C-alpha cells in the first residue's frame, strides 16, 4: 500500500500554478506592448501549464485514494468494502501513471532547446550509390513532406537538383509550423538504404546513402549578416526547355564571403522571392555554425552530446528485404517500412528522442 501521508506531503503544493499566472501576465504585457516574438514565454507557459494540470490531477487522485482507504477500513458492508478496495487499486495505479508523466515532462524540460519551437530548414543530398542514392533521397523527401502535411506544416522547396530518373541529387526546403525543429532535430545524419534497385536485373541488393540536415530557421535577431560580406549573383533559372524556360534573371545565388557558404534559389519566377528564400537558408546555416562553435566550447557534457547526437554518422538503415528500419543510435527497429516512408514517423521520432535523452541522462549521471 502507498504511503498516503508521504504523498500528501510531497504534493501538498502546486508551485507550477503560480508560475502559470506569472507567465500569463507577462505574455499579456508583451502583447499589449506590441512585442510579437513571445515564443519563449509561450514555450514556458506550455510547460508549466501541463505540469500544473498533471500536479492538480495527482493531488485529486491522492485525495480520492485517502477517501477509499478510509472507506475500506471503516465500511461494514462487504460489497461497499470491496468497491473501496477496488477504488484504492485504481487510484494507486493512477497516481503511479501521473508521477511517471510528471517525471517525463520534467525530463523533457532538461532537454529543451531554445530553437525547439522554431520552423526548420531541411536539406537532403544523395550520397554513395549513384542514381539509386538520388531515388532514395527523393523517398526521404516524400517521407518528410507527408509528415509535414500530417502535422499541418507548410513545406515549400527552396532549391532542388532533379536527376533524369526522378531522384534528387539535392533538395532544400523550408518547413514552417509549430515545434518543427523539436520533432525533427534528431533526423540529421546519414540515412542508409538496402534494397534491390529497379534497374538491377540479377536481384542483387544494393546499399546507398543520403544525408539529411535539419537546421533551425534563424531570424534576423538570431544572426546579423553584414551586406558588404555578400556577393549576390542573378541568372536565368534552368528548366525543362520550351515554354518552361525562364526568360528573366530570377534565379539568385548568394555567397557569404567570410564563411564561403553558397546558397541559391530558383524555385519561383520572382527574383525577390528567390532572394528572400536564399537569405533564409544562409541565415540558418550561419546560425547553425555559430551554435556548433558555442557547443564545442561548452564544458556541459549534456549539451555537447546533444549536438553530436543530432549529427551522428549513419544514424539509420532502411532494409527493404526485411521490412525493417533500424536506428543505430538507440538500437531500436520498426517493421513498418512502407508506412514510415509514407510519412507516418511520429512513433519512430518519439522513440528516438526518448532513447537519446535517456542515454544522455545516464551519461550525465555517471559523470
What's the pLDDT tens digit per position in 329-344?
999 999 999 999 999 9
- Please give the share of the chain, as a percent, with pLDDT higher than 90: 61
Structure confidence at residue 240 (pLDDT): 44
CA distances from 104 to 101, 111, 305, 353 (A): 5, 11, 20, 12
Give the rounded distance of the alpha carbon of 347 from its chain centre. 12
The yes-or-no verdict on residue 54 having pLDDT over 80 is yes
Structure confidence at residue 10 (pLDDT): 92
Structure confidence at residue 200 (pLDDT): 73
Report the residue count for the chain: 367
The yes-or-no verdict on residue 2 having pLDDT over 90 is no
Structure confidence at residue 108 (pLDDT): 78
Separation CA 352–CA 311 (nearest Å): 14
Structure confidence at residue 70 (pLDDT): 93
The yes-or-no verdict on residue 305 having pLDDT over 90 is no
Give the rounded distance of the alpha carbon of 94 from its chain centre. 30
Strand partners, 195: 206
Separation CA 151–CA 148 (nearest Å): 5
- Please give the share of the chain, as a percent, with pLDDT higher than 70: 90
Using 50, 70 and 90 to split pLDDT, how confident is the model at 241? Answer: very low
pLDDT: is 155 or 363 the higher one? 155
Separation CA 210–CA 94 (nearest Å): 45
Using 50, 70 and 90 to split pLDDT, how confident is the model at 35? Answer: confident
Q: Are strands 316-319 and 189-195 parallel, antiparallel or unpaired?
A: parallel
Per-residue pLDDT averaged across 278-292, rounded?
90
The yes-or-no verdict on residue 19 having pLDDT over 70 is yes
Per-residue pLDDT averaged across 19-27, rounded?
94
What order of strands is seen across the sheet that includes strand 120-126?
157-162, 168-175, 120-126, 206-216, 189-195, 316-319, 324-327, 332-334
Structure confidence at residue 23 (pLDDT): 94
Do 356 and 309 touch, CB atoms closer than 8 A? yes
Q: Look-up: residue for cell 526568360?
A: 247
Structure confidence at residue 244 (pLDDT): 43
Q: Which of 341, 312, 309 is nearest to 324 (CA)?
A: 341
Least reliable range by pLDDT among 18-32, 124-138, 243-257: 243-257
Q: What is the pLDDT of residues 114-143, one digit of tens each?
A: 788 889 999 999 998 889 999 999 999 999
Structure confidence at residue 227 (pLDDT): 92
Structure confidence at residue 268 (pLDDT): 80
Structure confidence at residue 104 (pLDDT): 82
Structure confidence at residue 245 (pLDDT): 44
Do 219 and 284 touch, CB atoms closer than 8 A? no
The yes-or-no verdict on residue 312 having pLDDT over 80 is no
Please enumerate in sequence order all residues whose Cβ is within 8 A of that of 35, keeping only pairs 6 or more positions apart, or say none: none
Q: Where do the H-state alpha helices sit in 11-129?
A: 15-32, 39-74, 78-110
Query: Please, is 146 exposed, middle or buried when counting C-beta atoms within 10 Å of its C-beta (0-12, 13-18, 19+)?
Result: middle
The yes-or-no verdict on residue 365 having pLDDT over 80 is no
Least reliable range by pLDDT among 49-63, 79-93, 286-300: 286-300
Q: What is the largest CA-CA distance in the chain?
A: 91
CA distances from 300 to 62, 67, 168, 297, 310 (A): 38, 47, 38, 9, 16
Separation CA 159–CA 238 (nearest Å): 12
Do 256 and 230 touch, CB atoms closer than 8 A? yes
Average pLDDT, the chain: 88
Structure confidence at residue 307 (pLDDT): 58
Amino acid at each position: 500500500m502507498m504511503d498516503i501521508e508521504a504523498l500528501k506531503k510531497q504534493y501538498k503544493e502546486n508551485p507550477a500554478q503560480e508560475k502559470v499566472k506569472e507567465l500569463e501576465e507577462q505574455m499579456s504585457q508583451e502583447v499589449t506592448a506590441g512585442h510579437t516574438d513571445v515564443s519563449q514565454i509561450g514555450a514556458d507557459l506550455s510547460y508549466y501549464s501541463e505540469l500544473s494540470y498533471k500536479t492538480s490531477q495527482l493531488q485529486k487522485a491522492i485525495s480520492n485514494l485517502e477517501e477509499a482507504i478510509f472507506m475500506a477500513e471503516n465500511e461494514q458492508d462487504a460489497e461497499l468494502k470491496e468497491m473501496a478496495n477496488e477504488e484504492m487499486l485504481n487510484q494507486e495505479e493512477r497516481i503511479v501513471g501521473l508521477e511517471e508523466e510528471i517525471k517525463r515532462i520534467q525530463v523533457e524540460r532538461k532537454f529543451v532547446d531554445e530553437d525547439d519551437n522554431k520552423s526548420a530548414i531541411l536539406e537532403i543530398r544523395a550520397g554513395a550509390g549513384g542514381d539509386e542514392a538520388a531515388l532514395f533521397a527523393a523517398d526521404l523527401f516524400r517521407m518528410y513532406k507527408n509528415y509535414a502535411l500530417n502535422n499541418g506544416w507548410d513545406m515549400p522547396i527552396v532549391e532542388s537538383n532533379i536527376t533524369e530518373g526522378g531522384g534528387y541529387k539535392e533538395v532544400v526546403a523550408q518547413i514552417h509550423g509549430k515545434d518543427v525543429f523539436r520533432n525533427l532535430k534528431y533526423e540529421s545524419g546519414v540515412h542508409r538504404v538496402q534494397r534491390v534497385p529497379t534497374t538491377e536485373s540479377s536481384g542483387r541488393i544494393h546499399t546507398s546513402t543520403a544525408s539529411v540536415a535539419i537546421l533551425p530557421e534563424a531570424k534576423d535577431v538570431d544572426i546579423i549578416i553584414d551586406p558588404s560580406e555578400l556577393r549576390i549573383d542573378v541568372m536565368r533559372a534552368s528548366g525543362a526547355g520550351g515554354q518552361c524556360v525562364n526568360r528573366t534573371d530570377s534565379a539568385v545565388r548568394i555567397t557569404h564571403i567570410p564563411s564561403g557558404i553558397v546558397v541559391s534559389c530558383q524555385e519561383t519566377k520572382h527574383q525577390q522571392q528567390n532572394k528572400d528564400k536564399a537569405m533564409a537558408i544562409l541565415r540558418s546555416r550561419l546560425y547553425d555554425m555559430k551554435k556548433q562553435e558555442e557547443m564545442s566550447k561548452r564544458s556541459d557534457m549534456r549539451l555537447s552530446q546533444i549536438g553530436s547526437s543530432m549529427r551522428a554518422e549513419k544514424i539509420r538503415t532502411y532494409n527493404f528485404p526485411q521490412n525493417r528500419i533500424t536506428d543505430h543510435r538507440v538500437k531500436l527497429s520498426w517493421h513498418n517500412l512502407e508506412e514510415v516512408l509514407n510519412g507516418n514517423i511520429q512513433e519512430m521520432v518519439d522513440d528516438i528522442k526518448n532513447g537519446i535523452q535517456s542515454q544522455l541522462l545516464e551519461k550525465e549521471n555517471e559523470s
